[in-house]
Amino acid sequence: MTESLSIPRPDDWHLHLRDGAMLQGVLPETTRHFARALVMPNLVPPVVTAADARAYRERIRAVVPEGSDFTPLMTLYLTESTDPADVAAAADEGLIAAVKLYPAGATTNSDSGVRDFAAVRAVLERMAEIGLPLCVHGEVTDPSVDIFDRESVFIDTVLEPLRRATPGLRVVMEHITTSQGVDYVRAGGPNIAATITTHHLILNRNHILAGGIRPHYYCLPVAKRESHRLALREAATSGEARFFLGTDSAPHIDALKEHACGCAGCFTATNTLPILAQVFEDMGALPQLEGFVARHGAAFYRLAQNAGTLTLVRRATPLALPDKILTGAGPVTLFDPGFPLFWHVTP
């Protein structure tokens, strides 16, 4: 049995840091292990322009823990009034690494998202010209479509037509949750990739609903059937460069999770690497962990691999972690995978 594994410093290609007291409280949970993270722009108000992204980056940098070399990779929130020239200038400056597409109403703070996809055609065409990735929350919001079918319907009715209409557009399907998503990315050619979250490798919909509602397992896209979870595990551990880690770690205070209309999101920044090491070990794929967390995403985003290494050690004693992260905004419950974690991250 492997007892120690050294890998390059990892990246998180989908992270929610929020702002203000919450940002200050949760950022150290990411900087402890990750060298870079692609920071989501769905604040209130959202990060829409280059000026917004520059200001948000400075707020993040101001609270990076002393001694950390963490780099936030910024994104813009795509709206129907986004200026293609502003996007191109931000990309040329190195300010942003991607633009995020939220269908309006699909998830947390997505009300400013896209309703008319024809209205963003000029932005997408400019992005295709300059090679800037479009990160997609891949769900339709039509209330007549079952919530468990919204990813597969999005692929057929929105994403495939969008990609056909914009040749060369580089797309990341974020937080895929279905076997259809896995199959689509595999068949989609070199300009499409996908992130897979930590929690979707652990959860199926029974975890949320069977025996009582568990609000800290509720996320969007919602966890699906067990067959889909197994498809995600196979893809993540396959070694294929088109699949890489995006935790979608999403902090909400307990009062908003444990609520009559609770917020969607799992907070996994603290324990993602120990969980993933266990998953990859269970799948007989520990040698593939390095690619999933440290190589594939950097290659797709055309960035150099991080310098330095991080070591995971398998110990007889389970990792002891707090149940909650205490922030100035309130307590945030840490995702519980439901099994002990024997992999420890060492400096």
Structural tokens at position 316: 């007889």
Say if residues 188 and 176 touch (Cβ distance below 8 Å): no
Q: Give the Cα separation of 231 and 234 in Å (integer).
A: 5
254 assigned to active site: no
Q: Give the Cα separation of 199 and 283 in Å (integer).
A: 16
- The torsion of the CA quartet 120, 121, 122, 124, rounded to 10 degrees, works out to 90
Amino acid (1-letter code) at residue 45: P
Structural tokens at position 21: 């007291």
What DSSP designation does 303 have? -
- CA angle centred on 296, ends 75 and 182, rounded to 5°: 90
Annotate 186-247 with DSSP letters as a single string.
HHS-TTEEEEE-SGGGT--HHHHHTTS--GGG--SSPP--HHHHHHHHHHHTS--TTEEE--
Amino acid (1-letter code) at residue 13: W
Say if residues 233 and 152 touch (Cβ distance below 8 Å): no
Say if residues 169 and 189 touch (Cβ distance below 8 Å): no
* Residue 303 buriedness (CB in 10 A; 0-12 / 13-18 / 19+): middle
* Candidate list 11, 12, 52, 248, residue with the active-site label: 248
Kindly tell me the number of DSSP H helices and DSSP E strands found in the chain: 13, 13
* Residue 196 buriedness (CB in 10 A; 0-12 / 13-18 / 19+): buried
Active site residues: 248
